[in-house]
Amino acid sequence: MNLVIDRGNTRTKFALFDHRRLVAIRTCDCITDEFLQNLVAHTNIDASIYCSVAGDAADATVMPLLHKQLPNLMTMPYNLHFPITFDYKLHELGADRIAAAVGARALVPEGALFVVDAGTCVTYDFVSADNRFECGNIAPGYELRLRAMHEFTGKLPLPEPTEPTTFMAQSTEDAMRSGAFYGLLFEIEGYLEHFRQKNSPYQLVLTGGTARLLQNQIKNCTFAEPNLVLIGLNEIIIQNSK
């Protein structure tokens, strides 16, 4: 079994793969020695990988626990081989973006890819047909747009980041929700139109926490895969276990 650990800004996902088959996913808010002991005790783990966007200070507290329970742990992106190459500055590229690009290529083996990860932030990344991570952008995600309006004004509330019920609203919370959501949707569609005008054929792969709200609104979406980062991390394990 391969164990994939994806530590985000708010929670950590643990995924077990039997080669390329996703077997199970568990989540936790806090990685503890007890949690890891229980996980390892009930699973025969052959290889593992850790990916984090939580920051160096947060990682420093958990890495000793991981190495204690997982002695052959791979750590993204250090000293690893990837099935794609990078024009983007690799030392500045988030490990989750690398994994999402690798996962997208695993799902779509041929052609150029436009990978949109709609999480806390939205990342827009372009992978060429010859497997080069060429370029990408970063923007605020749906929930972050709502939170920014709340925190940087005196009176605006903090709505739940649910799917809007109307396009143009008649209440403040609905107006914020529709403005943030459709602003994000039109932003994505603007990127897609830009690539169309450049005559650059591509396939769109969508992931992230807001993907389930967006996927039915976006035309020509090749894949909407919520576990794209996990799939990519598992591919990186396979690549580095040969």
Q: Which residues are catalytic?
A: 96
Q: Which pairs from 139-148 meet CB under 8 Å and 24+ separation?
A: 139/187, 141/184, 141/208, 141/209, 141/210, 142/118, 142/180, 142/181, 142/184, 142/210, 142/213, 143/209, 143/210, 144/120, 145/179, 145/180, 145/183, 145/184, 146/176, 146/177, 146/180
Q: Which residues contact 14 (CB under 8 A, 6 or more apart)?
A: 3, 4, 5, 25, 26, 27, 28, 39
- Alpha-carbon distance of 35 to 190, in angstroms, equals 43
